[in-house]
Amino acid sequence: RELSLVGFLPSVNVKSYAGYLTVNKTYDSNLFFWFFPAQVNPDTAPVLLWLQGGPGGTSMFGLFVEHGPYVVTQNLTLVHREFSWTNKYSMLYIDNPVGTGFSFTGNDKGYAVNQDDVGRDLYSALTQFFLIFPDYQKNDFYCTGEVRNTRIFVWPVFASYIACIK
């Protein structure tokens, strides 16, 4: 957990963690995550998973352009977003599926080829996340994102995958 602690960025004093969650050891497939504990009441604030959509759009777009604690200015400097979702919620941004954004695989066979692969990998990533950050297991958890294909393909498959293994 401490290895994933991100150092404070200039002019933006926000605690966060980033790194990779290995979702397929055989092919060295990894999903990139960036987690921001809520700035107010992190012990009880809901945890929101944000997936940008597409599928295949990096969730860093949501972080830097839409609702994360950082804004990238036109001269490429970071400033603090006044009304960030991280003020009230613990935000977990994941680049999903493997190959999106900073997520990667060591072998071409490690890419998701169907919706079941996407659901399995996302479930694996979330299981690891809550093992690394057990303090948040008791918090309410919500999945959110944007783009039509995320709602149609990712969430139903992910929910179906959870139901099958339970």
Q: What is the assigned CATH class of domain 2-165?
A: alpha beta
With contact defined as beta carbons under 8 Å apart, do 22 and 29 qualify?
A: yes
N- to C-terminal Cα distance for the chain?
27
The one-letter amino acid code at 6 reads: V
pLDDT interval class at 155 (50, 70, 90): low
Q: Tell me what the mean pLDDT of segment 128-155 comes to.
A: 81
Residue boundaries of the structural domains of the chain: 2-165
Q: Give the model confidence (pLDDT) of 98-119 as tens digits.
A: 999 999 999 999 999 988 888 8
Please tell me the distance from the alpha carbon of residue 105 to that of residue 82, in angstroms, as a whole number.
36
* Axis-axis angle for helices 155-165, 115-132 (nearest 10): 70
Question: pTM here?
Answer: 0.89
Q: Tell me what the mean pLDDT of segment 125-153 comes to.
A: 84
Q: Give the model confidence (pLDDT) of 41-80 as tens digits.
A: 999 999 999 998 777 789 999 999 999 999 988 998 889 9
Q: What residues contact 67, with CB distance under 8 A and at least 6 apart?
A: 81, 84, 85, 91
CA-based nearest residue to 164, from 127, 116, 131, 98: 116
